Amino acid sequence: MPAGRHTVMDENTLHILEEAYCNDLSDEQACYLAKIGESTLYKYQVEHPEFIERKRRLKDDTKLRARMKIREAILKEDKPDTARWYLERKDKEFKPKQEIEADVNIIKNIEDGIKKLGEDYDVSIPDKPDTELGEIII
């Protein structure tokens, strides 16, 4: 009878890991559910490199299905909010924009304060050219 430790990476453990990866869980979370150490998982992956690809595909599956559901909702339903939500996240042209106005005096006071702090500690702070501040679009 061969001596040695019984492997915990059996079919049940692999099934639990795969279910965890289908739910886009991290290695740490998947190992917790499967009741194994992360080192056990990493050793298994070294011995079975194809599992790394399987894990990546299982994680990607969730994202792919979500994208397909969004597309289906856009095509099937007459809800412009769904389409707008998608475009705001995927197309720069549709991203919400905020205008920010900066008070030049506040910035000047901050710069003066930094220069004064540098003088107090005998640190040289390089001057930068004056710039005009206007609207900043984020």
Which of 24-33, 79-88, 116-125 has the largest mean confidence? 24-33
Quick: pLDDT tens for 68-111.
888 888 787 777 777 777 778 777 777 777 766 666 677 777 87
pLDDT at residue 62, rounded to an integer: 81
Coil/strand/helix, residue 106:
helix
C-alpha distances (whole Å) from 76 to each of 3, 15, 65, 79, 86 are 61, 35, 16, 9, 15
What's the CA gap between 95 and 91, in Å, rounded? 7
What's the CA gap between 30 and 38, in Å, rounded? 9
How many C-beta atoms lie closer than 10 Å to residue 51's C-beta?
Answer: 18
Q: Match 């492997």 to its residue by tokens.
A: 7
Tell me which of 43-52, 73-82, 121-130 is least confident.
Answer: 121-130
- Residue 138: pLDDT band with limits 50, 70, 90: very low
Stated pTM of the model: 0.54
Q: How many residues does the chain have?
A: 138
